[in-house]
Structure 1
Amino acid sequence: MKKFLMAFASLVVFGLTADAQKVEFEEFDLDNGLHVILHQDNSAPVVTVGVMYDVGGKDLGGDEKAGNRTGFAHFFEHLLFEGTENIGRGEWFTIVTSQGGSNNANTSMDRTYYYEVFPSNSLELGLWMESERMLHPVIDQVGVDTQNEVVKEEKRLRMDNSPYGQLLPAVTENLFKKHPYKYKNIGEMEDLDAATLEEFKAYFKKWYGPQNAVLVVTGDFQMENTKKMVRDYFSEVKRGTTPVRNFPKEDPITETIKAKHYDANIQLPAIVAAYRVPGFGKRDAYVMDMVSSYLSDGKSSKLYKKLVDEQKQALAVQAVNLGQKDYGIYALFGIPLGDIALTDLLAEMDEEIAKMQNELISEKDYQKLQNKFENRFVNSNSSMQGIANSLARYYMLYGDVNLINDQINIYRSITREEIQAAVKKYLNPNQRVELEYLPKKDDQ
C-alpha cells in the first residue's frame, strides 16, 4: 500500500509539473529569413531579448590564401559589442545599465548567443540594439586591435594560467583528427594576430545575416505591438546567403589512443578517458546524459561514493557528457589521492562502467535519475532569460522549438535497458583517448 501511494504521488507531481512548466510561444519568419520566437509572460515587468547565430568555434575564418583561422566566432562575441553606426564605441554597456538592464554573450563550438534583460518598458531599446548589431556594426582596425588584447587576456586568465585550463583542448586535439572540433573555441592567438580586417568583415558577412539567426523575446510585453516592433527594426536587414558546411567525418576509434599533456599550473596529476558519442540531437545523447548523472552527479553517485568517500582513492572524480551538435564528448575524469597511480584510478572507474555493461542499474537508482532530470527541467524554465536561451537553442541546434516542453518526455521514456546498451556501445577501452594530464617540470 505504501509503495502504491508513493507511486501515485509521483505521478501527480509529474503531471502538475508538466502543466505548470508548459511554455507557450509564437513563431514567424521575416522576409529576410530571420526566425522570430515570442513567449509572453506578464507576471513580472521584465523582458529578455536574445539573438542566437548559427556560428561557433567549429566555423573557421580565413580564406584560400590565408588558410584556416581559428577563434573567429569567439572573437566576434567580443567584437560586436564595440559599437555600431548609431552606438558609439564603448557605449553599449553604458546604455544597457543606464536603463536598469544587463547583457551578456557566449560562444560554443556550435553557436553564438547575445542577450539583454531589461525592465519591460525598455523592450524597444533591446530590439533596436540587437538590430543595430546585425545591421550597422562598426568593424574597424581599432575595434579589432582592442578586442584582440581582450581575448588574449581572457586566454591567459582562463587557460594559460589556470589549473587544468588546457584540459579540454588536450582532449579534443586527440579525440578529433578531421572535424574542426579539434580546435580551441577561443582559437590560436597567432591566427587572430595574422588575420586582416578584410577577413573579419568577410566573416561577418558570411555568418551574421538574418537568415542565419533566431530572435527570441520573452517576458512582459504585448504580442501584436512586439511583432510590429520586430518588423520595424529587423525587416530592413538584408538577407544574405545561407552558409553551407561540409565537415569531414571522423573515422571510428578502434584502438586506445594514449596521450600526455603537461601543465605548469598544477601539482596534482589527472587522468581522463574520453570517448566520441552521438551529437545532442540523437536519442543516445540523452541516454549518455543519464549515464553521466548516474556515475557522478552528487555525493551519492557511484563514482564519488566509491572513490572519494569509501575507498579514499580520489580527490575528485567526474563523468561528463559534453553535448555538441556533430559529435559529443563523453569523459571520465579523476584526480588521485595520495600515491594512487593514474592507471589504478582509471581501472576503478572502468570497473563501474563494466558493472553497467553487465547488469541493469537498480530500479531505485533509475527512479532517482528520473527525479534529477525532472528537477533540471523545472529549473531550466524558471526564468525569462532561461526560457529565451532554451527557445533559441532548441530552434537553432535541434530544429524543434517544442522540445522546451517535450524534452523531459524523452528522458522519461529512456529505459534501464537502453542505458545498459549505450554503455556497451560507446564506453569501451578501445574506443577512447586515455590522457594523462601531468604537472610540468622545469625541464619539460
Structure 2
Amino acid sequence: MKNSIFSLLSLFTLTFCATAQEVDFREYDLDNGLHVILHQDKSAPVVTTSVMYHVGGKDREDGRTGFAHFFEHLLFEGTENIDKGKWFEIVSSNGGSNNANTTNDRTYYYENFPSNNLKLGLWMESERMLHPIIGQDGVDTQNEVVKEELRMRYDNSPYGQVINAVSKNVFSKHPYKDPNVGYMEDLDAATLQEFQGYFKKYYVPNNAVLVVAGDIEIAQTEKLIEDYFGPIPKGAEIDRDFPEEEPITEEINTEFFDKNIQIPALINAYRTPGFADRDAYVLNMISSYLSDGKSSKLYKKLVEDQKQALQIGAFNVAQEDYGAYLVFGLPLGETALDTLAVEIEEEIANVRNSLISERDYEKLQNQFESSYVNSNSSVSGIAGSLATYYLLYGDTDLINEEIDIYRSISREEIKEVANKYLKPNQRVIIDYLPEAGQ
C-alpha cells in the first residue's frame, strides 16, 4: 500500500535541479520557430533526441478533455514513412529505447540511442511532427488503450483518485480542475476532424523545443536538424487565456469516495503559485522539512512517536499556472481523521509561527545540495531538464542556476511563505473514504 500511494504522488512532485558540474549547452531557433538545444557529452557513446511540446491536459475545451494525453499514445501509431505499429520495433532493433509522458502543461517524447543512430532519432521525431497518420483506425485503437490505462492506474487502483480529488476541490475555474487524462465520454464523443485540428494547432515547431544531448558533433548535428526539421511549416500562434481562480479564504470541508480502499485517508490541500514562482521553491523545502525521511517532523511525530498514522506525506504538486500543496495521511488503528487534521495543523502552525531550527535548516540545505548533485546524472536526464527549463520556466540557464535559489532561501522566508499559503482558512480538508459496503 505504501509504495502504490507514494509512487503515484511522486509523479506529480516535480523538483528540477542541476548537476554539480556545469552543463554546457548551445541553443538557437530555426526559421520555423523550433527552439533547439544541444548538449555535448562524450563520456559515453549514447545520444538522446527529445521533443517537448507546450501542450498538456489544460489545453482543452469544455467537453473535450484529455486530448494531449490521448496524443501521447496516438503519435506512436505511425507516419507516412513508418508503418503502423512499427515505431517501437524500429527503436529497439537499433539498440534504443523510447517513451513519452504528458502532464497538465506539456508533452514529452524521447529516444535514447547509441550515438551512431543520431540521424535515426532525429528522423523519427521529425516524422512525428510532420507526417503522422491521424486516422479513424488509429483513434479507435488508442481509445481502447487509454481506457485500459484509466482502469489500471485510476479507476481500479487504491488511492488512484487522490490527485483528482484534490484538483476538483482546489480549482473551480481553471482547467486544472479536470484530470490530465480527461474523461472518456469526451474522447468517445470527439470526431476525427477534432483530433486532426488539435494536432494542427499544438504540434507545430513554434510550440516545441528539440533537445539533442550526448555524444554528438555540434556542427554535424545542426546540419541534420536543419535538414529534417527546417522544412516543417510554422504553425499559427497559440493564444492561451485561462480563467483566474479566486483566493480560498474560508476552510472547505468535503468528502471523496474510492471503491478500491478499506482504510480512509485525510487530505489537507492548499492552492499555491506556479512552479516558476520563487515561493514554489520555498514550498518544496517546507515539504521536505515536514515529511522527507523518518526524521522529518510529521513522520517522526505521527508514525514513530504517537503511532497515529500508517503513512504521512507533504507534497507541493507543481504546475505551470498554479500549484496545489497537499498533506496526505493514512490513520493507524482507531485514530480519527479529525485527529490527524489537528496534529498536522499543529506542525504546520509551528512553521508559520516560529523559525525552524538552525540544525533543521542545515539538513534541508544538505538535502537539496544532494539532489542538485544527483538529479542530472544521465544524458537523458539532462535532456529532459533542458527542455523543461526552456519551455516551462523560460530560462534554460536554470539547469545550472536553480540550486542558487534554494541556497538563498532563509529560515525567515520559510516562515513567511508558510504564512502566505498554508493557513487553515486557505485549506480544503478532504475525507477520502471507502465507498459504502467496501
TM interval, short-chain normalised? over 0.9
1-side partners of 2:246 and 2:374: how far apart?
38
**AA aligned opposite 1:430:** N
Instruction: Go from structure 1 to structure 2 and tell me whether the alpha carbon gap of 1:57 and 1:265 turns closer, same or farther (over 3 Å shift).
Output: same
| Match for residue 439 of structure 1 among 415, 422, 434 | 434
* Aligned residues of 1:258 and 1:435 also touching (Cα < 8 A): yes
| Match for residue 69 of structure 1 among 64, 67, 86 | 64
Structure 2 residue aligned with 1:14: none
| Match for residue 346 of structure 2 among 342, 351, 362 | 351
- Local SS of the residue matching 2:386: helix
Residue-by-residue CA offset, 1:346-402 (whole Å, 9 max, x unaligned): 110100011111110011110110111111112211000100000000000000000
Q: Which runs of 5+ in 1 are unaligned?
A: 1-16, 62-66
**AA aligned opposite 2:232:** V
Residue-by-residue CA offset, 1:229-259 (whole Å, 9 max, x unaligned): 0000001100011211000100000111111
Structure 1 residue aligned with 2:237: 242
Structure 2 residue aligned with 1:25: 25
* Aligned residues of 1:75 and 1:186 also touching (Cα < 8 A): yes
* Aligned residues of 2:174 and 2:244 also touching (Cα < 8 A): yes
2:48 corresponds to 1:48: yes
Q: Number of aligned pairs?
A: 422
1-side partners of 2:20 and 2:219: how far apart?
25
Residue-by-residue CA offset, 1:26-58 (whole Å, 9 max, x unaligned): 001100000000000011000000100000000
- Local SS of the residue matching 2:370: helix
- Local SS of the residue matching 1:365: helix
1:215-254 correspondence to structure 2 within 5 Å: 215-254=210-249
Q: Which runs of 5+ in 2 are unaligned?
A: 1-16
- Local SS of the residue matching 1:315: strand
Shift of 1:19: 8.7
2:423 corresponds to 1:428: yes
Structure 2 residue aligned with 1:389: 384
| Match for residue 129 of structure 2 among 128, 134, 144 | 134
- Local SS of the residue matching 1:21: coil
**AA aligned opposite 1:152:** K
Structure 2 residue aligned with 1:331: 326
* Aligned residues of 1:268 and 1:335 also touching (Cα < 8 A): yes
1:103-122 correspondence to structure 2 within 5 Å: 103-122=98-117
Structure 1 residue aligned with 2:196: 201
2-side partners of 1:151 and 1:300: how far apart?
40
Which protein has the larger Cα radius of gyration, Structure 1 or Structure 2? 1
2-side partners of 1:142 and 1:440: how far apart?
38
2-side partners of 1:57 and 1:371: how far apart?
35
Shift of 1:68: 3.4
* Aligned residues of 1:21 and 1:381 also touching (Cα < 8 A): no
**AA aligned opposite 2:43:** S
Residue-by-residue CA offset, 1:193-238 (whole Å, 9 max, x unaligned): 0000000000000000000000000000111000000000001100
**AA aligned opposite 2:235:** G
2-side partners of 1:202 and 1:159: how far apart?
28
Structure 1 residue aligned with 2:370: 375
1-side partners of 2:85 and 2:375: how far apart?
32
1-side partners of 2:18 and 2:71: how far apart?
38
Aligned structure 1 segments of 4 or more residues deviating by more than 6 angstroms:
none
256-265 vs 133-142, greater mean Cα deviation: 256-265
- Local SS of the residue matching 2:253: strand
1:256-267 correspondence to structure 2 within 5 Å: 256-267=251-262
- Local SS of the residue matching 1:394: helix
Structure 2 residue aligned with 1:364: 359
* Aligned residues of 1:109 and 1:181 also touching (Cα < 8 A): yes
1-side partners of 2:333 and 2:356: how far apart?
31
Structure 1 residue aligned with 2:34: 34
Which of 1 and 2 has higher RCO (CA within 8 Å, sep 6+)? 2
2:277 corresponds to 1:282: yes
130-139 vs 255-264, greater mean Cα deviation: 255-264
Shift of 1:18: 8.7
**AA aligned opposite 1:175:** V
Q: TM-score, normalised by structure 1?
A: 0.94
1:78-89 correspondence to structure 2 within 5 Å: 78-89=73-84
